[in-house]
C-alpha cells in the first residue's frame, strides 16, 4: 500500500469515527459550569443510623402519612413501609425499576412517580395510573409529586427528552427539558404549568400553600411558583447559587425546607462539562458518563428558611456512610434520608439549630 492510499484510509476512518461520535450523537450538549458557592463540611451525615438496611434497594424518596407510617419506593418496584412499631412491610409491588417521588394523600393513598408509566395512585385496592400522557406526549420521567389541600397533584417531569435509563445523557446534555405539571383529580386532566426547566426535580408546597417550590438541578436553584390568587402563575427564584444540584425538597414542620444537594460535576472533571466535543465522546458510553457525574462521591442536605436563606447543612464529604442522597424528610425531630446508592434510609437526630 502506498502512502497516498494509507492516508486516504486513515482520513476515511477518522471521518467515519467523527460521524459516529458527533453526527449520530444522542445529545446536543450545552456547556455546564460548576456551582460557585460552597458550604463548610461537618460530616454530620456520617452519624446516621441505617434504617431497613438490606431491605431497600436505593430508596430515592420518602413520605410519611397522617398516621406516622413511613413509605418509600425502591428500584425493585417495591413500595415498602415502616410501621410505628418499627416493623417493615413490603406493601405493594409495581412492575417498574424507576419509582421516584412519593407523597401520602389526605385520602390515605400513596401517589408515586413512576418514571416509566407516569403518575400512579397506590392504595389498599391496588394501583391506578392517574396520568401517563400530557398534551398527547408520554410522560417520560415523572420525578416528584405533592398533593395540595384541594386534592390537586403537582408533579415534576425531569426531562421530556430522555428516559430514566438514559439520565446520564440528560446530565451531559445539561439542557432545560423539564416541566412542572398539575393533575386535577376532578377533571382527570394534566396541564403543564412551567416549561424549559433545567431538570425539574423536587416539588414542595409552602406551609400555607401560597406557592410551590420546584428545583432545577442543572441550574443549582429552586423556583417559587405562586398559587395564591393575586400572584397565581407568577414565578420567581426561591433560592439560587446552591453548592450543587438540588434534588428532592420537603417542607419541614417549622415552614422551612429540606433540600438534598447533589454534586453534579466532580471538581476535578469540570473540564468535561466545558467541552461539547468531550461530551459527545463520553455520551457513547454509559460507564464513562457515570464516571463524570459526582453523585456517588458525597452527600449533602441543606435547610432553607421560607425567605430562601440557608440555615443549616449536613454532609458526608467523602461518601463514607452515605452518598447520592436525594431527599431529606423531617419527622418527629429526625431527618430521614433517601438516596440512590445504598440499601437503607439514613436517620439523623436533629438538634435545635
Q: Which residues bind Ca ion (CB under 5 A)?
A: 143, 201, 247-248
Least separation, in Å, of the C-beta of 113 and Ca ion?
8
Least separation, in Å, of the C-beta of 284 and Ca ion?
26
Q: How far apart are CA 103 and CA 100, in angstroms?
A: 10
The residue among 78 and 100 lying less far from Ca ion, judged by its C-beta, is: 100
Least separation, in Å, of the C-beta of 170 and Ca ion?
12
Kindly write down the DSSP assignment for every residue of 169-226, as one continuous string: HHHHH----EEEEEEETTTTEEEEEEEEESSEEEEEE-TTSSEEEEEEGGGTEEEEEE
The residue among 248 and 250 lying less far from Ca ion, judged by its C-beta, is: 248
Per the rule left: phi > 0, alpha: psi between -120 and 50, beta: everything else, 58 is left
Per the rule left: phi > 0, alpha: psi between -120 and 50, beta: everything else, 160 is alpha
135 burial type by CB count under 10 A (0-12 exposed, 13-18 middle, 19+ buried): exposed
Q: How far apart are CA 20 and CA 240, in angstroms?
A: 38
The residue among 134 and 249 lying less far from Ca ion, judged by its C-beta, is: 249
The residue among 247 and 263 lying less far from Ca ion, judged by its C-beta, is: 247
Q: What are 66's three cell numbers?
A: 397522617
The residue among 143 and 263 lying less far from Ca ion, judged by its C-beta, is: 143
| Integer CA distances (angstroms), 54 to 57, 59, 163, 298, 329, in order | 8, 11, 27, 21, 21
| Integer CA distances (angstroms), 190 to 73, 137, 174, 314, in order | 23, 11, 26, 36
Least separation, in Å, of the C-beta of 167 and Ca ion?
10
The residue among 252 and 280 lying less far from Ca ion, judged by its C-beta, is: 252
Q: How far apart are CA 62 and CA 99, in angstroms?
A: 11
348 burial type by CB count under 10 A (0-12 exposed, 13-18 middle, 19+ buried): buried
Least separation, in Å, of the C-beta of 278 and Ca ion?
27
The residue among 48 and 325 lying less far from Ca ion, judged by its C-beta, is: 325
Q: What are 160's three cell numbers?
A: 421530556
Least separation, in Å, of the C-beta of 143 and Ca ion?
5
* Residue 214, strand partner residues: 203, 223
Least separation, in Å, of the C-beta of 2 and Ca ion?
59
The residue among 122 and 145 lying less far from Ca ion, judged by its C-beta, is: 145
Least separation, in Å, of the C-beta of 293 and Ca ion?
14
The residue among 29 and 246 lying less far from Ca ion, judged by its C-beta, is: 246
244 burial type by CB count under 10 A (0-12 exposed, 13-18 middle, 19+ buried): buried
Least separation, in Å, of the C-beta of 87 and Ca ion?
27
The sheet with strand 62-64 has its strands ordered as: 62-64, 70-73, 78-82, 88-93
Amino acid at each position: 500500500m502506498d502512502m497516498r492510499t494509507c492516508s486516504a484510509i486513515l482520513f476515511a476512518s477518522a471521518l467515519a469515527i467523527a460521524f459516529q461520535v458527533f453526527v449520530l450523537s444522542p445529545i446536543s450538549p450545552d456547556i455546564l459550569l460548576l456551582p460557585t458557592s460552597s458550604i463548610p463540611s461537618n460530616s454530620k451525615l456520617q452519624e446516621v443510623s441505617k434504617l431497613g438496611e438490606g431491605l431497600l434497594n436505593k430508596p430515592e424518596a420518602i413520605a410519611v402519612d397522617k398516621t406516622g407510617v413511613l413509605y418509600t419506593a425502591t428500584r425493585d418496584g417495591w413500595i415498602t413501609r415502616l410501621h410505628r412499631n418499627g416493623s417493615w412491610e413490603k406493601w405493594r409491588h409495581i412492575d417498574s425499576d424507576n419509582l421516584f417521588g412519593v407523597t401520602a394523600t389526605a385520602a390515605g393513598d400513596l401517589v408515586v412517580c413512576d418514571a416509566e408509566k407516569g403518575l400512579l395512585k397506590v392504595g389498599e385496592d391496588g394501583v391506578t395510573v392517574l396520568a401517563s400522557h400530557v398534551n398527547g406526549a408520554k410522560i417520560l420521567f415523572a420525578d416528584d409529586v405533592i398533593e395540595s389541600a384541594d386534592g390537586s397533584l403537582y408533579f415534576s417531569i425531569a426531562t421530556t427528552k430522555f428516559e430514566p435509563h438514559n439520565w446520564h445523557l440528560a446530565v451531559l446534555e445539561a439542557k432545560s427539558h423539564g416541566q412542572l405539571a398539575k393533575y386535577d383529580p376532578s377533571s382527570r386532566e394534566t396541564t403543564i404549568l412551567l416549561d424549559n426547566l433545567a431538570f425539574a426535580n423536587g416539588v414542595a408546597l409552602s406551609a400555607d400553600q401560597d406557592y410551590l417550590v420546584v428545583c432545577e438541578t442543572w441550574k443549582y436553584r429552586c423556583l417559587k411558583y405562586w398559587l395564591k390568587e393575586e400572584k397565581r402563575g407568577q414565578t420567581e427564584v426561591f433560592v439560587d447559587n446552591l453548592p450543587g444540584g438540588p434534588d428532592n425538597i420537603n417542607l419541614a414542620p417549622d415552614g422551612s425546607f429540606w433540600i438534598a444537594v447533589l454534586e453534579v460535576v466532580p471538581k476535578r472533571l469540570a473540564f468535561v462539562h466545558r467541552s461539547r466535543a468531550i461530551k459527545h465522546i463520553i455520551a457513547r458510553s454509559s460507564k464513562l458518563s457515570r464516571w463524570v457525574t459526582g453523585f456517588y462521591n458525597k452527600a449533602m442536605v441543606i435547610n432553607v428558611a421560607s425567605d430562601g436563606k440557608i440555615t443549616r447543612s449536613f454532609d458526608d464529604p467523602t461518601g463514607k456512610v452515605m452518598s447520592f442522597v436525594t431527599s431529606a424528610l423531617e419527622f418527629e425531630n429526625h431527618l430521614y434520608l433517601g438516596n440512590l446508592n445504598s440499601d437503607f434510609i439514613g436517620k439523623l437526630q436533629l438538634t435545635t439549630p
